[in-house]
């Protein structure tokens, strides 16, 4: 391992250059106009895997391609599958970025760019950790496979079907996903639980056309007013609980031991509020901030449209209003069941004079990984070597749809080994990634395959 780690240390400048090349590609999966950039990012990733010695190719799906790569020359050794995604979130609102989102800029120890932490910097760290073995030692001590997809930010629409059709190709002993974060700076973490998601859009239709609010105000139901009242009824103002009937029926409650472990973590609540720019952290009563973010379901409006939103005044009653609403789910909630409950409840809240329709923008099941597995212990050790600090266990509030897909289709749990930080501004303007953590992540990936090979 000494010469592998020395090789990694000697190539920091090249690793940074390669990351910046990838970050300059605006691979926004939610924007149909960026399809060419999505393919460019996929081809860049394929070419990187090929250049370092893997057999790699693009696998076409019903949407954006999957990059698949493999190196299977470690006979008798286990196979480790690395997952990542080359697509990124839209950078809007652009005027809040201090520097252009697709022109990587270094300020202090951080590189600022869309996709730097989510997930280009993290998946590339794993790729480079394997490359270091190839260049310094002739190859890694175990077999490796890579799946780098282009639709994670739009809930991996086509990946489940692709994985299900390629289970033989994807056979492996371990799966590593680096698309999460450390608990805090100096506290590297293994994430053992993720929330799922059910993302809905609600459309309320009123009159056949926009109407003059003076001539028709008071005579028709205003879809914008109706939508506002519906949204206001989705939470109990006293307890903070979601009011959708049955939404808590299948929720797995925290154990006493979990709550005690969460309470031991060095959560800086004042610093958290300062970073977010808020003076209070309200939410569901009876749960700490970490418990609410990691282990409780949510229901949040992600956007509202309707009526006139341009400059100045235009006195109209809109013909239609809509809201995008995402519900984060926890074990053992079923996204299909939650979608039905949501639609049924919204219909009961609709007043006369409007009709409602729904559109689903993605669903993913929550995931919970056993914390007593040997592989998880190995991953903790690898993180401690790579980052030089003790590793803690945590859950995550976000969703990685492929975790449940891998468990269901391949029968293998995922090791969620994150290199980012909680304040990396994922999905927000000024996303960043610590270049030192990028470098530590490369070392961690090398240590991880070395440790998994020894344990076989």
Catalytic residues: 87, 152
59's enclosing H/E stretch is strand 55-59
Collapsing DSSP to helix, strand or coil, 204 comes out as strand
Report the DSSP pairing between strands 414-417 and 55-59: unpaired
Angstrom distance (rounded) from CA 90 to CA 101? 10
Tally of residues, the chain: 456
| Nearest alpha-carbon partner for 120 in 145, 152, 88, 82 | 88
**C-alpha radius of gyration, the chain, whole number:** 23
Angstrom distance (rounded) from CA 221 to CA 181? 46
448's enclosing H/E stretch is helix 435-455
Angstrom distance (rounded) from CA 327 to CA 338? 9
Q: Degrees (nearest 5) of the Cα angle 204, 210, 213?
A: 105
Helix count and strand count (H, E) for the chain: 14, 18
| Nearest alpha-carbon partner for 124 in 412, 387, 427, 420 | 420
* CA quadruple 259, 260, 265, 269: dihedral sign: positive
Does 119 sit behind a cis peptide bond, omega within 30 degrees of 0 on the bond before it? yes
Tokens 């893997």, residue located: 54
């Amino acid at each position: 391992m000494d010469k592998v780690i020395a090789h990694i240390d000697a190539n920091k400048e090249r690793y940074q250059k390669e990351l910046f090349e990838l970050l300059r590609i605006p691979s926004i999966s939610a924007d149909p106009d960026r399809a060419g950039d999505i393919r460019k990012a996929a081809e860049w990733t394929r070419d990187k895997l090929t250049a370092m010695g893997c057999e790699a190719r693009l696998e076409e799906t019903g949407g954006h391609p999957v990059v698949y790569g493999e190196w299977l020359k470690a006979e008798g050794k286990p196979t480790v599958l690395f997952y990542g995604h080359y697509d990124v979130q839209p950078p809007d609102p652009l005027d809040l970025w201090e520097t252009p989102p697709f022109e990587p800029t270094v300020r202090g120890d951080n590189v600022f760019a869309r996709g730097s932490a989510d997930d280009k910097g993290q998946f590339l760290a794993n790729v480079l950790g394997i490359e270091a073995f190839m260049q310094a030692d002739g190859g890694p001590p175990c077999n490796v496979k890579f799946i780098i997809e282009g639709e994670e930010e739009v809930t991996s629409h086509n990946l489940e079907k692709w994985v299900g059709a390629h289970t033989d190709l994807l056979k492996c002993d371990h799966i590593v996903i680096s698309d999460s974060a450390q608990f805090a700076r100096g506290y590297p973490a293994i994430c053992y639980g993720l929330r799922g998601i059910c993302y809905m859009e609600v459309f309320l239709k009123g009159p056949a056309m926009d109407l003059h609010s003076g001539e028709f105000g008071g005579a028709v139901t205003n879809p914008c007013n109706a939508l506002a009242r519906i949204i206001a009824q989705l939470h109990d103002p006293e307890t903070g609980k979601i009011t959708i009937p049955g939404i808590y029926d299948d929720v797995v409650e925290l154990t006493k031991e979990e709550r005690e472990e969460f309470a031991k973590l060095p959560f800086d609540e004042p610093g958290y509020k300062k970073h977010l720019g808020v003076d209070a952290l309200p939410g569901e009563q009876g749960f700490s901030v970490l418990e609410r973010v990691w282990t409780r379901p949510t229901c949040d409006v992600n956007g509202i449209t309707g009526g006139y939103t341009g400059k100045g005044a235009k006195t109209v009653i809109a013909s239609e209003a809509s809201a995008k609403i995402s519900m984060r789910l926890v074990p053992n909630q079923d996204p299909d069941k939650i979608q039905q409950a949501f639609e049924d409840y919204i219909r009961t809240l609709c007043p006369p004079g409007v009709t409602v329709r729904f559109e689903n923008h993605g669903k993913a099941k929550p995931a919970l990984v056993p914390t007593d597995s040997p592989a998880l212990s190995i991953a903790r050790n690898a993180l401690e070597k790579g980052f030089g600090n003790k590793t803690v266990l945590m859950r995550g509030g976000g969703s990685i749809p492929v975790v449940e897909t891998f468990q269901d289709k391949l029968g293998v749990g995922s090791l969620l080994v994150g290199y980012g930080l909680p304040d990396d501004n994922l999905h927000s303007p000024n996303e960043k990634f610590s270049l030192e953590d990028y470098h530590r992540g490369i070392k961690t990936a090398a240590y991880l395959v070395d440790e998994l090979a020894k344990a076989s």
